[in-house]
Amino acid sequence: MHPQNLRRMAKRTKTDYCQNLLQSYRKRAKGQFLFFKVCEHLNLMEKDYFGLTYKDTHDHKCWLDPTKEIKRQIRNSWQFSFNVKFYPPDPSLLTEDLTRYLLCLQLREDVACGRLPCSFVTHTLLGSYTLQAELGDYEVDQPKPLDYMSQLTFAPNQNKDMEEKILELHKSHRGMTPAQADAQFLENAKKLSMYGVDLHHAKDSEGVDITLGVCANGLLVYKDRLRINRFAWPKILKISYKRNNFYIKIRPGETEQFESTVGFKLQNHRSAKRLWKVCVENHSFFRLNAPEPPTKARFLTLGSKFRYSGRTQAQTRVASSLIDRPAPNFERTSSKRISRSLDGASFIFPQFIIYAFTCSFIHFYLFCAFVLFCCMSAFQSSLGVHGENIYVRHSNLMLEDHDKTQDEVLKHQASISQLKRSFMEAPPPSPPQPNQWEKRLTSSPTTTIRVQPHPVVRVWMLMTLRLKEGASGCILMRIFHTDNFFSESVSSESESEEEAEYHPNVHVSIAHSEIPEEKEEEEEEEEEVEVHVVEQIPNDTILPPVIEEAAPVEVQQQETHDAERPKEAEEKHTTEPENDESTDDPMLTPEEAPPPNGLPLAEEDSPDAGQEEPKVNGQPMTVETEHRPQVICCTEPPVVKTEMVTISDTFAAQKTEIATKEVPIVHTETKTITYEASQLDGNADGEPGVLMTAQTITSESLCTTTTTHITKTLKGGLSETRIEKRIVITGDCDIDHDEALAQAIKEAKEQHPDMSVTRVVVHKETELAEEEED
């Protein structure tokens, strides 16, 4: 989608856009789906700082959990707002002006409603930057500017005096661009003491009313406006709640011998849980390099297993640094107009309203078609070529009979390793990488078996993008994306959970640059790190370029030799991607795909593979409701329990190896679809280039693992850059893989708008647990 006019977007909210969002409801989509839709609509890439909120039955603002079904979280109110969830401590480090603009919108609302208190002087200053950003230079002949001003909300107790001061300052900003004005706004707003502090009312142990503030640095305790205590994250050993009590266990100070626990009383257990979740998320986002995996599914234990599932600040900064699309166009709308459009309310921030609909299978299938189309058209436009240039191939590795023979397992493994080989045409750059991959391959099925007795689908996606850069050479990019959606029980929790714990230990790979003022404390902390944690995230920090063998790169190098053709293709897709997207080319649907063309990943042709598409997605609809993960944990046969134990050591490579061998309880159905641009063919071998740099960035979380592998080679005066991103989606069928694929392609396209996708490989594996067979 192209840059959006935000105002138009706000207006369109209730029309076509809602239609799309509605689909998500029908599909029982997870929060993530809706959130991605909204971000897509906003054309936002640095989305990790944001989230969707809804009001619970008690009118409390709650964050929509991306890993859980929307329907299960909200209570009849299909109204969400898009909000800043993690306020970046230094907004100047954001990559895009659009992101800064959205942050400004949030802060303007925060300031105007008094949530972010500031002095008179600061109100006037921020107001003047808002005017400069929205209206441009002060116009001397503007009639009655003060009348206009009084319709804008800058402060909770705005008066004429303030408005005059704002105008006066506005005059002084002459010549400042909107982006500069936003930047200045943020520079001033970020210094405010309550910037990014999420407040929760509580009582201390003596019943005195206090306010707890969660922020990037830790937990703040206020009595009225005064800060009376502060617990920096490194000082906190454990965060927990039990009923309406919220506890933090404090690391002993220099002179103390024992840990102490501080307790606070919240209004009710929901408030306590909400506070606890905010703490877990803030700690993870600001202090960790990668989110902590969910707690082990202990047998018959209670308590929330909630963990932050998004990217951490460290990860999102890496991701942001890879954005190289041209700055998106967007229009800054007047706060006034926006607030009018929302029935005179003072909302400046876009809101999304969705109406409830009844779910039915018809809708569901319609939805499938819709997503499929999205996915295909996105693919097509990225390629910038039409049907005849694309070869689509299906391979259905269906294991027909349900007997789990050793043969099958081997076959299964063979197919996995073949996939792996093809995916890793470029051998991994550093030792930790293959392990990571190995682990994912081997551990994922068992993980899902444990938690979901019904079909499990794993999808790998591989995209190859190509870019011609300048006249001097071609840049070849291959996008390899890894996403990992764990299945439901991971995030399963219910209102009945009245307690939970969280140990905010910072992993060894914490980015030391994150919170420089607490370096000392961080050092202290590292002593706490356990060995398995270190193993868990071997490669999370940005590695300095690692030199690897040149061999991997050569496979695709020749493609870039032909400077003309890529150029053509690129021109096509950069000039008219939107048109392409809207073209419904039948050539692109899997059913009508032309015959395969010797693609490496295809094992076997299966003309009817496409027809199974809806079935794969449809299955969970029929089985899901009866199977709650908690129950399954207790009723699974012993062999499965054993697997559970194995899973708890997911990160010990050896053990997961064993787990894979024990996979026999699973039936596997795999399917591989490869889409490839024709230019690739016949260019199979080329002389190796000189490897300049190779770099691998891995980020991993509960739901997302992204491995980005960048190599630069120099060959015959041509410089080639290749980025590989791997996406692995593992989870129950309820996850919309097609949507995820479309999203991934889209993201890749956005990040590198001037490249063409040269290859996309989709491999699906459906595994049926034994209980499901009949």
Cα separation of 89 and 547, whole Å? 34
CB 262, min distance to other proteins, A? 13
Query: What does the DSSP 8-state code read for residue 562?
Result: -
Listed ranges 112-120, 338-346, 419-427, 623-631: which one lies at the site for other proteins (CB under 8 A)? 112-120
CB 117, min distance to other proteins, A? 4
Nearest to 734 by CA among 611, 616, 610: 616
**φ/ψ of residue 548, rounded to 5:** -130, 180
The two three-digit tokens of residue 626, written as one number: 């009866």
Q: Are 305 and 295 in contact (CB under 8 A)?
A: yes
* Angle of CA points 363, 368, 372, to nearest 5°: 150
CB 179, min distance to other proteins, A? 20
* Angle of CA points 309, 734, 639, to nearest 5°: 85
Kindly write down the DSSP assignment for every residue of 243-271, as one continuous string.
Answer: TTEEEEEEPP-SS--S-EEEEEE-SSHHH
Instruction: Please say which residue, 68 or 173, places its beta carbon nearer to other proteins.
Output: 173
Instruction: Please say which residue, 142 or 172, places its beta carbon nearer to other proteins.
Output: 172
Please select the residue that binds other proteins; options are 98, 118, 666, 733, rule is CB under 8 A.
118
CB 209, min distance to other proteins, A? 13
Instruction: Please say which residue, 228 or 639, places its beta carbon nearer to other proteins.
Output: 228
CB 195, min distance to other proteins, A? 10
Instruction: Please say which residue, 37 or 173, places its beta carbon nearer to other proteins.
Output: 173
- Position 121 contacts other proteins (CB under 8 A): yes
Cα separation of 73 and 587, whole Å? 40
Nearest to 342 by CA among 79, 672, 734: 79
Listed ranges 20-28, 117-125, 329-337, 413-421: which one lies at the site for other proteins (CB under 8 A)? 117-125
- Position 288 contacts other proteins (CB under 8 A): no
- Position 174 contacts other proteins (CB under 8 A): no
Site string for other proteins, 397-426 (x = CB under 8 A): ------------------------------
Listed ranges 4-12, 118-126, 351-359, 766-774: which one lies at the site for other proteins (CB under 8 A)? 118-126
Listed ranges 72-80, 227-235, 586-594, 674-682: which one lies at the site for other proteins (CB under 8 A)? 227-235
- Position 122 contacts other proteins (CB under 8 A): yes
CB 191, min distance to other proteins, A? 5
Size of the site for other proteins (CB under 8 A): 26
Instruction: Please say which residue, 120 or 357, places its beta carbon nearer to other proteins.
Output: 120
In the block, tokens 């995209």 appear at 463
Listed ranges 58-66, 185-193, 275-283, 663-671: which one lies at the site for other proteins (CB under 8 A)? 185-193
The two three-digit tokens of residue 656, written as one number: 């997961």
Instruction: Please say which residue, 111 or 768, places its beta carbon nearer to other proteins.
Output: 111
Please select the residue that binds other proteins; options are 11, 227, 402, 628, rule is CB under 8 A.
227
- Position 172 contacts other proteins (CB under 8 A): yes
- Position 770 contacts other proteins (CB under 8 A): no
Listed ranges 66-74, 222-230, 266-274, 626-634: which one lies at the site for other proteins (CB under 8 A)? 222-230
Please select the residue that binds other proteins; options are 93, 208, 228, 302, rule is CB under 8 A.
228
CB 127, min distance to other proteins, A? 12
Interaction residues for other proteins, span 672-701 (CB under 8 A):
none
Which residues does residue 479 pair with via DSSP β-bridges, in sequence order? 463
Instruction: Please say which residue, 223 or 243, places its beta carbon nearer to other proteins.
Output: 223
Q: Are 68 and 304 in contact (CB under 8 A)?
A: no
CB 124, min distance to other proteins, A? 8
* Angle of CA points 662, 663, 668, to nearest 5°: 160
Listed ranges 223-231, 501-509, 573-581, 694-702: which one lies at the site for other proteins (CB under 8 A)? 223-231
Residue 299 neighbours by CB under 8 Å, 6+ apart: 633, 634, 641, 644
Cα separation of 504 and 502, whole Å? 6
Q: 253: number of CA atoms within 13 Å, CB side? A: 5
Could you tell me the CA-to-CA distances from 752 to 42, 206, 379 in Å, in that order?
18, 57, 14
CB 253, min distance to other proteins, A? 8
CB 180, min distance to other proteins, A? 16
- Position 582 contacts other proteins (CB under 8 A): no
Q: Are 620 and 732 in contact (CB under 8 A)?
A: yes
> How many CB atoms neighbour CB 664 within 10 A?
15
Cα separation of 116 and 154, whole Å? 12
In the block, tokens 């270190």 appear at 534
**Helix intervals (H) in 249-360:** 269-287, 313-321, 335-341
Please select the residue that binds other proteins; options are 53, 79, 188, 583, rule is CB under 8 A.
188
Query: What does the DSSP 8-state code read for residue 763?
Result: E
Cα separation of 538 and 508, whole Å? 10
Site string for other proteins, 469-498 (x = CB under 8 A): ------------------------------
Site string for other proteins, 593-632 (x = CB under 8 A): ----------------------------------------
The H-or-E segment that residue 242 falls in is: strand 236-242
Please select the residue that binds other proteins; options are 141, 147, 206, 224, rule is CB under 8 A.
224
Interaction residues for other proteins, span 500-529 (CB under 8 A):
517-518
Q: Are 215 and 203 in contact (CB under 8 A)?
A: no
Cα separation of 739 and 549, whole Å? 35
Nearest to 51 by CA among 318, 308, 239, 256: 308
Q: Are 377 and 584 in contact (CB under 8 A)?
A: yes
Q: Are 692 and 712 in contact (CB under 8 A)?
A: yes
Q: Are 381 and 589 in contact (CB under 8 A)?
A: no
Interaction residues for other proteins, span 142-171 (CB under 8 A):
169
Instruction: Please say which residue, 215 or 666, places its beta carbon nearer to other proteins.
Output: 215
Cα separation of 490 and 66, whole Å? 12
Please select the residue that binds other proteins; options are 12, 230, 325, 503, rule is CB under 8 A.
230
Please select the residue that binds other proteins; options are 90, 144, 225, 513, rule is CB under 8 A.
225
CB 217, min distance to other proteins, A? 5
Site string for other proteins, 192-221 (x = CB under 8 A): xx---------------------x-x----
Q: Are 703 and 486 in contact (CB under 8 A)?
A: yes
Binding site for other proteins (CB under 8 A): 117-122, 125, 169, 172, 188, 191-193, 215, 217, 223-230, 232, 517-518
